[in-house]
Amino acid sequence: MIELWTTILYQPIINGLIFLYQSLGQNLGLAIIALTALIRLILVPFTNSSLRAAKKMQELAPEIAKLKDLHKDNKTAFASAQMELYKKHGANPAAGCLPQIIQLIVLIALYQAFNQVLTTNGETISKLNQLLYPPLKLAQDAHLNTNFLYLNLAKPDFFQFQVPSSTIQLPLPGLFLLLAVVVQFLSSKMMLPAAKKAESLAKKTPQEADDVMAATQEQMLYLFPIMTLFFGFSFPSGLILYWFLFSLLSSVQQYLISGWGGLTPWINIIKRS
């Protein structure tokens, strides 16, 4: 299983990153940007199907509400009618799971690849060369350029703030870490109507499980921004740069398929101002 992971995902990502690094003037930041766009392009078919499935579920929400009201005392009848409705309209509630799993797997592989590439001492170069295809192998004394804008891509993206009249230093998130958090939040906000509809549907039924599921769905909308900020203080900024760009491109794709969603009231306020 480990060899399969290395051969199919981990090793190609490392080689792709080093190839782009060597092709783009030994600029690791540009290499990460190019790799992010490439990975995002590869995942478009999966994520498009997921977003369309989510939109379809939103469109069916009124029909599901009617079914819940009709079969409020018969869970089995409701489940059967619900499945029939999904089948009739070609909807699949589980269609959004696979792209999320794929994205998580890619993120884990990237995290491992970036850790391997960004710590470029002599021992790491030797280990890196074991994974690189022959045309891309590095000289033993090579040191990758990890500087990009104000970032050192091998270190976390935060600043140390000195508390006045004190020896205490507080970490403050850097620009790209903040951007990653903001983009995650806006993307979650765009998805909010689905959660609101689920919440209103849950109130139509006496089962407490529906209420718990709806509340959990809404909480999950804000989980990624919080996790991004929390883990961003320990992740190398190269990974944060990737995550910001990946999230930004995901939001653009979501807009093209589903529109502004929960951001619509904010957009209307901006247009009126």
Region 99-111: what's the mean pLDDT?
A: 76
Paired residues of 173 in beta bridges: 158
What are 6-60's pLDDT values in tens digits? 888 889 999 999 999 999 999 999 999 999 899 888 888 877 777 777 777 777 7
| 240 touches 177 (CB < 8 A) | yes
Quick one: which H or E segment has residue 166?
Answer: none
CA distance linking residue 223 with residue 137, whole number of Å: 40
pLDDT of residue 167: 73
| 172 touches 36 (CB < 8 A) | no
pLDDT of residue 80: 87
Q: Which residue ranges make up each domain of the chain? A: 2-266
Extract the tokens encoding 134: 């022959």
Query: Which of 128-132, 177-181, 258-262 has the lowest average pLDDT?
Result: 258-262
Rounded to a whole number, what is the largest CA-CA distance in the chain? 73
What are 128-156's pLDDT values in tens digits? 888 899 999 988 888 888 899 999 998 88
Extract the tokens encoding 123: 């021992």
- 172 φ, ψ to 5°? -115, 135
Residues 6+ apart with CB under 8 A from 42: none
Q: At what angle do helices 208-220 and 192-202 cross, to 10 degrees?
A: 170
pTM above the 0.85 mark?
no
